[in-house]
Amino acid sequence: ETGVTQTPRHLVMGMTNKKSLKCEQHLGHNAMYWYKQSAKKPLELMFVYNFKEQTENNSVPSRFSPECPNSSHLFLHLHTLQPEDSALYLCASSHTTGATDTQYFGPGTRLTVL
Amino acid sequence: TQLLEQSPQFLSIQEGENLTVYCNSSSVFSSLQWYRQEPGEGPVLLVTVVTGGEVKKLKRLTFQFGDARKDSSLHITAAQPGDTGLYLCAVKATGYSTLTFGKGTMLLVSP
């Protein structure tokens, strides 16, 4: 238990569906991250939020839409996804986005797009 | 071309064996981190190395940062089934918070 929770843990959706992934951290951190982990690829950073403001968008397609209503919660809204978007989506948090701050990861949401 | 090359990609050994996995790059880094990701879980930080030549030990795990700060190794002594998982190395560019990961080494330790 790292203090970062993600729901749902597993999600199967069709290409026309709209769904959302949720991440919550109980560590009092101010920075939150979304990563994508695909088979045979390195973990890829998608988005970074610091004090609720998006500070990085790593050229992610617009069918992925993040939302950070407060420092404890982070959402990833999904719509019209493609089968190649099937992956493990990991959320992480850290005290700030400082270079020495440790990131704590949640268990991930395993997404399958049919 | 990947920034970080990890080898081997997959390693299957018997309990009690020793092993070493590697993380290599042509770039110099101010620090390097090792994570372990168990099946069904997110990565968990094991160690951060910051000084060239630095050696850190965590029970049966020994981490070394290369003298030139371009590479690192992780040595496990007397591996146990609980060591099974994906071992990832990651770096941050100087002054930045975002992590870049290698593809990882998948380790399977059988009883």
Residue B58 pLDDT exceeds 90 = yes
Residue A60 pLDDT exceeds 90 = yes
**Is residue B9 within 8 Å of residue B106, measured between CB atoms?**
yes
Mean of pLDDT over chain B: 93
Taking the CB of residue B17, how many other CB atoms lie within 10 A of it?
A: 13
> Between B44, B96, B103, which is nearest A2 by CB?
B44
Residue B57 pLDDT exceeds 70 = yes
Give dist(CA B10, CA B99) in Å, integer: 22
Taking the CB of residue B22, how many other CB atoms lie within 10 A of it?
A: 16
Asked if the Cβ–Cβ distance from A101 to B101 is below 8 Å, we say no
Interface of A with B in 1-20 (CB under 8 A): 2, 4
pLDDT, residue B28, reads: 87
Residues A21-59: pLDDT tens digits?
Answer: 999 999 999 999 999 999 878 899 999 998 888 888 888
Under DSSP, the state recorded for A28 is -
